[in-house]
């Protein structure tokens, strides 16, 4: 058995360059911990001339990343290309078919193809590792798959996107609106030029689908994740949340029960006493409920070159140690599909912001629609009066079913009682 693990890396962006730097700078520590020298022998990327701040001399270069799978001098392939199909999927598939282990940070790929790729990895008898795909440097996949192996996990949830958490935190601290803070985040490099995957909740949904599969022993089911982003959260909502004792966070929440699995991503109002309320900036946090371990909380940097490279190399260390477990904690054939619980079945409290004309009978009309659909009002907040002008009415409800609330809000909109579509944010007493 060789004492060198020869690595091929596809994708030399921020994470790829960070992985090369970590393997170089911590080579002595890594060898002492896994008994092998981890060395990169080949790479693939689109632009050979680009300066990535790391030395690529003496590394074999491939324009086609699939060549890494075929290179007899490459023992393990690290896929950092990104995307749920195309070159990334072709490379990972080819590598597993060739009987070589794969390490990836690609959450979209695992969220959409993880179950099939896991079966292929098991058939080939090699590892498919994706710690870096969820929550950056937080070792949540290993914890769920290995450390909590003795537990039945009933719930996993958290802040899984640092860009959204940065935006919401900054909106709260500055009083600025979403569009202004997003533009600032883009200028600082915290948000992409096209921020849709982040701010529309898709990135969080990819990660939640993976966490759900590992936590509950079910096939990855990204299509079942209800997804809503933060574009419609206003500075007014954040200010009122504070007055009511809440903070607004974009959460991914997955639960399992007798009826099935619920997976949802959306803005939430969480009590200021909640652990999630105190996770600020670009940090991530994940909370897990297990039947014997109880509640555990993981918090740390959710992205960036260093934290993500740390997770990539941790997977490489496991491969060097020849430590292999099923990608999702159990054999792919043992993953049990369960019914998906729709968002309409959610039972909980809600925050409502209704922009109305300040005139007689409006509140009574709104209250009647809510009453007719079994929605009970807990509190009403209105600042000032401008007869005949637009004002905001803030309400919170007692716990109710979302299906009934949705019908009530549709009726309110159709009745002409409001001048803008109602804003609804779910209250989560986590």
Give 96-120 as a DSSP string. Answer: HHTT--EEE--HHHHHHHHHHHHHH
In degrees and rounded to multiples of 5, residue 77 shows phi and psi of -110, 135
Cα separation of 358 and 335, whole Å? 55
Residues 31 and 159 in one domain: no
Residue 29 within a domain: yes
Number of domains in the chain: 3
CA distance 7 to 21: 14
- How many other CB atoms are there within 10 angstroms of residue 59's CB atom? 16
The predicted structure's pLDDT at residue 265: 98
274 occurs within a structural domain: yes
CB 99 within 8 A of CB 74: no
On the 0-12 / 13-18 / 19+ scale of CB atoms within 10 A, 18 is buried
Q: Is residue 318 part of a domain?
A: no
Helices then strands (H, E): number in the chain?
14, 17
247 and 360 in a common domain: no
Helix, strand, coil tally for the chain in percent (to 5): 40, 25, 35
Query: Are both 355 and 414 inside the same structural domain?
Result: yes
Asked whether residue 317 is domain-assigned, the answer is no
Same domain, residue pair 152 and 197 = yes
Tell me which residue of 286, 290, 314 sits closest to 300, measured CA to CA: 286
Task: Quote the domain boundaries for residue 250.
Answer: 147-301
Distances (CA, A) of 120 to 41, 115, 279, 300, 395: 25, 9, 38, 32, 51
Q: Looking at residue 337, what is its pLDDT?
A: 96
* Rounded CA separation 319/37 (Å): 12
217 and 289 share one domain? yes
Q: What is the CATH number of the domain that holds 236?
A: 3.30.360.10
Res 226: pLDDT: 98
Choosing from 36, 100, 142, 207, which is the catalytic residue? 207
Structure tokens at 34: 């896994």
Q: How many other β-carbons are positioned within 10 Å of the β-carbon of residue 105? A: 28
Q: Which residue reads 């596809």 in tokens?
A: 10
Is 389 found in the same domain as 253? no
Nearest Cα residue to 286 out of 385, 390, 141, 415: 141
Shared-domain flag, residues 192 and 295: yes
Q: Which residues of the chain are under the pLDDT cut of 50?
A: none
pTM higher than the cut 0.85: yes
Same domain, 17 and 93: yes
- Kindly state whether residue 330 falls inside one of the protein's structural domains: no
- Same domain? 12 vs 97: yes
Q: CA-based Rg of the chain, rounded to a whole angstrom? A: 24
| 323: in domain | no
pLDDT of 57 reads: 86
- In angstroms, the CA 108 to CA 122 distance is 20
Quick one: CA dihedral 8, 10, 12, 17, positive or negative?
negative
259 in a domain, yes or no? yes
- What pLDDT score does 386 carry? 65
Of 271, 301, 331, the position where a domain reaches its end is: 301
pLDDT given for residue 358 in this prediction = 77
Q: Based on the domain organization, do 109 and 204 belong to the same domain? A: no
Q: Which of 267, 282, 301 is the last residue of a domain?
A: 301
96 with 10, same domain? yes
Same domain? 16 vs 124 = yes
Task: Identify the pLDDT of residue 119.
Answer: 97
Torsion of CA 252, 256, 260, 266, to 10 degrees: -10
> Of 109, 133, 157, at which residue does a domain stop?
133
- What is the CATH classification number for the domain harbouring 400? 3.30.70.260
Active-site residue flag, 207: yes
Residue 195 within any structural domain of the chain: yes
In angstroms, the CA 320 to CA 325 distance is 13
């Amino acid at each position: 058995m060789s004492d060198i693990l020869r690595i091929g890396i596809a994708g030399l962006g921020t994470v790829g360059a960070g992985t090369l730097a970590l393997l170089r700078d911590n080579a002595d520590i890594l060898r002492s911990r896994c008994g092998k020298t981890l060395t990169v022998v080949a790479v693939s990327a689109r632009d050979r001339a680009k300066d990535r701040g790391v030395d690529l001399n003496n590394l074999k270069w491939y324009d086609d990343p699939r060549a890494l799978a075929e290179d007899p001098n490459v023992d393990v392939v690290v896929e950092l290309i990104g995307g749920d199909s195309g070159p990334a999927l072709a490379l990972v598939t080819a590598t597993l078919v060739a009987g070589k282990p794969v390490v990836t940070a690609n959450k979209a790929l695992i969220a959409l193809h993880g179950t099939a790729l896991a079966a292929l990895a098991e058939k080939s008898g090699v590892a498919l590792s994706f710690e870096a795909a969820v929550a950056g440097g937080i070792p949540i996949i290993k914890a769920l798959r290995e450390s909590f192996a003795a537990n039945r996990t009933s719930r996993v949830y958290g802040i899984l996107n640092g860009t959204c958490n940065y935006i919401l935190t900054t909106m709260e601290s500055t009083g600025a609106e979403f569009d202004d803070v997003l533009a600032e985040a883009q200028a600082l490099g915290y948000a992409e030029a096209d921020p849709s995957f982040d701010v529309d909740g898709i990135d969080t949904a990819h990660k939640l689908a993976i966490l759900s599969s590992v936590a509950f022993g079910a096939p990855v089911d990204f299509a079942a994740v209800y997804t809503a982003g933060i574009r419609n959260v206003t500075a007014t909502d954040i200010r009122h949340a504070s007055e009511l004792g809440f903070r607004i966070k974009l959460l991914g929440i997955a639960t399992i029960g007798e009826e099935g699995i619920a997976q949802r991503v959306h803005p939430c109002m969480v009590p200021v006493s909640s652990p999630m309320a105190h996770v600020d900036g670009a940090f991530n946090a994940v909370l897990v409920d297990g039947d014997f371990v109880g509640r555990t909380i993981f918090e740390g940097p959710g992205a960036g070159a260093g934290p993500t490279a740390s997770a990539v190399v941790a997977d490489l260390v496991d491969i060097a140690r020849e430590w292999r477990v099923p990608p999702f904690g159990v054999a792919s054939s043992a993953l049990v599909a369960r019914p998906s619980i729709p968002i309409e079945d959610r039972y909980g409290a809600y925050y409502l912001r209704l922009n109305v004309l300040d005139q007689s009978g409006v509140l009574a009309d709104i209250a009647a629609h809510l009453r007719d659909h079994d929605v009970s009002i807990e509190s009403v907040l209105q600042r000032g009066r401008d007869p005949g002008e637009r004002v905001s009415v803030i309400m919170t409800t007692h716990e109710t079913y979302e299906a009934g609330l949705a019908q009530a809000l549709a009726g309110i909109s159709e009745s002409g009682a409001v001048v803008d579509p109602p804003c609804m944010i779910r209250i989560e007493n986590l």
